[in-house]
Amino acid sequence: MMLSPDQAADSDHPSSAHSDPESLGGADAKVLGNVSDLEPVEEAEGDGKGGGRAALYPHPQQLSREEKRRRRRATAKYRSAHATRERIRVEAFNLAFAELRKLLPTLPPDKKLSKIEILRLAICYISYLNHVLDV
């Protein structure tokens, strides 16, 4: 755990002496500075896509809305939640097709139909039922 020099002086934590800039090596300690002192560093190459970070430890107000969204979506928690939502959506979608399939007459009755075949057959069947009602 790294503490700023002000926090290290106030802390009773035994490792606080190691986080003091003077204990890091005198003049070299001033070069290191704090993480919060770092300025954004642009990528050397690339189009900004593909997993690279556009900034190293930037201040939250410096991030664009899109960069904040990209970072939030990169977390394991977000990916897991998204996968769960997608799985539930696909299951509901497949269940709806299964229910629709049960309502459609086919020969043989247990014939496996693709989703597009189910939709086309449903359209034809609805048209047929409308025609029967009109006659």
- Would you say residue 79 lies in a domain? yes
| Per-residue model confidence as pLDDT tens digits over 4-39 | 555 544 544 444 444 444 444 444 444 444 444 444
Domain that holds residue 112: 65-134
Pull the structure tokens for residue 5.
């020099």
**Element of type H or E holding 125:** helix 115-134
Whether 117 and 97 have beta carbons less than 8 Å apart is answered as no
pLDDT of residue 72: 85
- Would you say residue 129 lies in a domain? yes
Q: Which residues contact 56 (CB under 8 A, 6 or more apart)?
A: 38, 40, 41
Query: 40 preceded by cis ω (within 30°)?
Result: no
| Per-residue model confidence as pLDDT tens digits over 87-119 | 999 999 999 999 999 999 998 888 899 999 999
- The residue type found at 27 is A
pLDDT of residue 46: 46
As a whole number of angstroms, the distance between CA 120 and CA 108 comes to: 17
- Would you say residue 86 lies in a domain? yes
- Would you say residue 11 lies in a domain? no
CATH of the domain at 80: 4.10.280.10
Q: How confident is the model at residue 63 (pLDDT cuts 50, 70, 90)?
A: confident
Whether 71 and 51 have beta carbons less than 8 Å apart is answered as no
pLDDT of residue 130: 96
Q: How confident is the model at residue 58 (pLDDT cuts 50, 70, 90)?
A: low
Pull the structure tokens for residue 23.
């204990």
* Total domain count, the chain: 1
Whether 53 and 74 have beta carbons less than 8 Å apart is answered as no
